[in-house]
Structure formats: C-alpha cells, structure tokens
Chains A and B, each alone.
Chain A
Amino acid sequence: MTTVTPVQTPVRPGTPAHVPGVPGDTVLSVRGLRKDFTLHTIDGRTVDALHGVDLDVRPGEHVALAGTSGAGKSTLLRCVYRTYLTGSGHIWFRTAGGELLDVAALPDADAAELRGQEIGYVSQFLRPQPRRSVISIVASAGVARGMGRADAREAAAAALRQVAIAEHLWDTHATVLSGGQKQRVNIAAGTIAPPRLLLLDEPVSALDPANRAAVLDLIARLEETGTAVLSVFHDLDAIERLATRVVVLGGGQVLATGAPGEILHDPNLPLEVAR
C-alpha cells in the first residue's frame, strides 16, 4: 500500500488543539451526539436516531459498530462525514496539522475540504458516478489526498489489482460495472493514499466470498498506515477479524464497548442484524 504525506488543512485562527474531555491521541472523538429527523412531508413526525453517543477512534485503530437494524450505525457514520447534520453534541476530528475541528459545526466549505483530504467514506450504496473511467475515479481520490497525478495513476492501478478489477475494465465507465465491481472500485478509491479517518458502511455487502476476502485483506492492512477506521459490517466474522474494538449501539445509544472476543460472544447483546 502506498503512503503519502497527508495534505495539511491550513490552520485556521482560533481553532483549539485541546478540548476538555477529549484525549490528546484520538483522531475522532464523538461527544454527546444526538440526531433526529423531522419528516415534514409525512406529518411532521420526528424519528429519533441517536441519543447521546460518545466514541473515540485512535490512529491505527479499527472500531466496528454493531447492533440491530435501525440501531443508528449508518446515521453515526453519516454525521461524521457530514452527510447528515448533527442535532447536538460534538464530532471532534484531529487534522494532520494537529487542530481539533468540530465537524458538527464546521462551515460547509471547510467540511467539503476535510472530506476530500482527510476523511474517506465507502458506503454500501453507491452514489451516482459520472461516466468516467474506473481508473480516473480511483486516481482522483489519490490526487485529492495529495498525490501527484502520475503517482496517483500508478497507485490506482495497484489498488485496482488488489481488489481484482480486471485490467480491461480500467478504461471503461464505472456506470457499466456490476454492483460488486462498483463496490470494489469504491474501496480502491477509499483506500488509495489512505485518509486519516476511513468510514466504512457495509463495504463488502455485494461481494462473493473470494472478492470479499481480498477486500477484507486490504482493510486489514490499513492498520499499518495508521489510518483510523470506523466501520459497520453486517457479518460478525468480518468484525472479529478486523476490529480492534467493538461498540454496540442500541436505541441510539452505546450499549457496550470492548474487544471483539468479549463482545461478539456475549449472548445478552443485541448483535444479530435483522434483514
């Protein structure tokens, strides 16, 4: 896996390097996160998703979120990526430059910049991709995270090989790929020049066993690069293999947190994913 000097978000005047209650060594510290949705087009009803979640992720750590369907796992990832707005609470992200930024309160343009450079997101659903070649999609993710164009293209080729995307597909438009192929292209783009924080929401859900194994290997190797990973996997085997810590969500709150060995075999925790 290729590493590059991370792009440093320019230091903004007035951004703290320390916040009380936030450990000095985390990449991500979520504090008191609440999120609900007001559905104006239905009848103005409110759907509660998260009620006060605290969570830390450190460099090289892989924290897996577990819990039943609707527990709020995806909502949490999306709040961190700013695809969802936070209701209240803080999402402290420590940049490569050492500043602590509250993603929940960051101006849109700053959040957009942080995304391209320091926070990656690979989801179970694939956002509409323009009709661009597979390799250019992966390479531009590398460029956004500080690679030169030529290096990015080489790294993109290596990443595509790792996720077993056949070379004859590299120059075709991503729109013609199968669901599983798209998911692997997404993973390649998410892990090239790995961001400081990578959010994974069921990144292997569409893959057959062989491809699934290849992608899990790739994710396992992220630890070496110091990337902090916050993930949701639908199967407990993947969690057991990859996670350094598991956080169980239920009813929008943290029910338990601990090593995979302890948590995954605890019969009292709601871990099965209803589907």
Chain B
Amino acid sequence: MSTHTPQSRPWALKVSGLGRIYGDPSPASLTGTGPEHGTAVSPSTGAVVAAWDVSFEVAPGEALGIIGESGSGKSTVMRCIAGDEAATTGGIALRSVADGTVNLCDLLPSARRRLRLKDIAAVYQDPAAGLNLDVTAGGNIADPLTAVGWRSYDGIRQRAAELLERVEVPLSRMDDLVRTFSGGMRQRVQIAKALANDPPVLLLDEPTTGLDASVAAGVLDLLRGLLEETGVAAVVVSHDFGVIDMLTRRVLVMKHGRVVESGLTDQLLEDPQHPYSQQLVAAARG
C-alpha cells in the first residue's frame, strides 16, 4: 500500500488525524471497531466510530476522491471539513486561512460558518441542502455574493449570469424558482452558487448520485472542465468508481470509518491491494 507524505508540496486543504465518534468519545469506544472487526460500532460503549485517523492533503488544482460504500464514513469526513458537524478530534487547515496555521476545529461556530462564504464551498447530493428551492436561480447565487459585500444590483446580476453560463443553464431561467428546475439543472445551479466567490477549496458529496445516467454524464463533464480550469482543490466523495475515475487523480478507500488504502486513482482501479478495494473494483466492473 502506498502512502502519500509530500514534504514540500503546496496544499490548499490539509486534514490530519480527523475523527468523528457519535456517542461516548472516550478511547474505549475505538476498541473492537474498524475494518478488521467488520463494524464501526463499539461493542462496549455502543458508540459509532464514523471516521477515525483520516489524514490527507489536497493541492491547488488537484482532486482527491474518497470512495466507500454507504456508512463507510466518507460523507462524515466531508461534513466535518465543511463544518456541517464538529469533529471529535483532529486537525483541518486551509491555506487561505492564516496561511494554514489555524485548526478550523478550534474556531467558534460563527467564524466557521463565515469560511463557507469565500474559503470553502460544498455541493451536496441533494440540491435542497445547498439551495433554497423557493428562490430563483439568480437569487440563490446572489446569496453568497451579497454576504461578502456585493452591493450593486447590476453587478450581482451580471456575476450570476456569468456563473449560470459557466454551468450551462440558459439565462432565460435565471428568474425562475429553482423548484421548477429538473434534477440536473438544480445540481448545476448548486455548482454555480458554490463557485460564486471563487473558493480555493470545493467539496463535492455524491454530486451526480440520483440523476439519470445521461444527465449525470453532463454534470460530470461540467465538473471535470471546472476542476481543470479553475485550479480549485477538490474533494469528491462518491460510492461510484465511474465518478471517481472521471474526476480525481488520487483516492482514499474507506471502510467502517477507516482509510484502508490510498493511491493514484488508476492504480486503485487496476491494482487494488486491500481485499475490500478489490471487492469494490470487482463490483464496479460487474
């Protein structure tokens, strides 16, 4: 198994020793959990060790994937990084925040929320988690802009139009409620909103899961282009190797809350080492 321990490589996001336990957070909860025990649930305390000892760095312009089946802890990791929930332990640093010297886990919730405006953005599987469906597409995108101080109505509309164009949503739909949009279109608006303030770090949680295959392919093409053009550092969480293969260069495999293997994405697909990774790849090949 290979490990990535870049010494002098620039990073935009750094996660170290991240852990999230639901229930009794004492060390006793760890015993008997993890892939070798076949469970994330502590036999003694009943706590769920959703994620433990997760570490990685993502460079500007790089996309890292996290793959695993449902319940493996991948979305927990993403929610901890996004600040949607508190980590039990570990460090999360953004290069854009005090040059990476601050552990985001030590910030007050209000300060943490502010980072979501400019420093880190997330796109969720469910558009309703990232958008207000009862507001227009333009209005949704205006939100993060006004929050960081945009005031000119024309300026905001122009930026919103630019972003919609970028994600290939017809401008004629700008003033329609997002509720009237198709699934793929909602996802595109969510992506436009996430990119509004050009964040250096973008988190994507199952960005195409639940969409029809052809619609999903269109959204993937869009994301792939955006990742290449923008120089954003991305974390892509998915259970689908097709998505990971298309979008990422490196990948972590998670099972029962632990990282069981990491490597270059094509290496993970062609020469997986861990029995669980081999199982996932075999299943993906059908």
Contact = CB atoms under 8 A, between A and B. Distances in A.
Q: Do A and B come from one complex?
A: yes
Main secondary structure of the interface of B (DSSP, over half): mixed
B278 A131 contact: no
B8 A83 contact: no
A230 B23 CA distance: 56
Given A37-B271, A84-B270, A108-B262, A128 B246 contact: yes
A127 interface: yes
Contacts, number: 74
Given A108-B2, A109-B62, A83 B271 contact: yes
B220 A85 contact: no
A13 B273 CA distance: 30
A48 to B, nearest CB: 14
A41 B267 contact: no
B35 to A, nearest CB: 13
B245 interface: yes
B245 A128 contact: yes
Interface residues of A, number: 25
B9 A132 contact: no
Contact of A40 (B8, B9, B246, B278): B278
Contacts of A214: none
Interface in B223-237: 224-225, 228
Given A84-B271, A130-B220, A107 B6 contact: yes
Contacts of B6: 107, 109-110
Contacts of A128: 242, 245-246
Contacts of B1: 85
Interface in B259-276: 262-264, 266-267, 270-271, 273-275
B55 to A, nearest CB: 13
Interface string A13-34: 1000000000000000000000
9 contacts: A83-B264, A83-B270, A85-B273, A107-B2, A107-B6, A109-B62, A112-B249, A112-B250, A131-B221
Interface of B: 1-9, 57, 59, 62, 217, 220-221, 224-225, 228, 242, 245-246, 249-250, 262-264, 266-267, 270-271, 273-275, 278-279, 282
Given A40-B274, A83-B270, 17 more contacts: A10-B8, A12-B8, A13-B7, A40-B279, A41-B279, A78-B271, A82-B264, A82-B267, A85-B2, A85-B273, A107-B2, A109-B59, A109-B62, A109-B250, A110-B6, A110-B9, A127-B266
**Pairs of residues from A and B, 5 with the lowest C-beta to C-beta distance, nearest first:** A40-B275, A108-B4, A84-B271, A107-B4, A131-B221
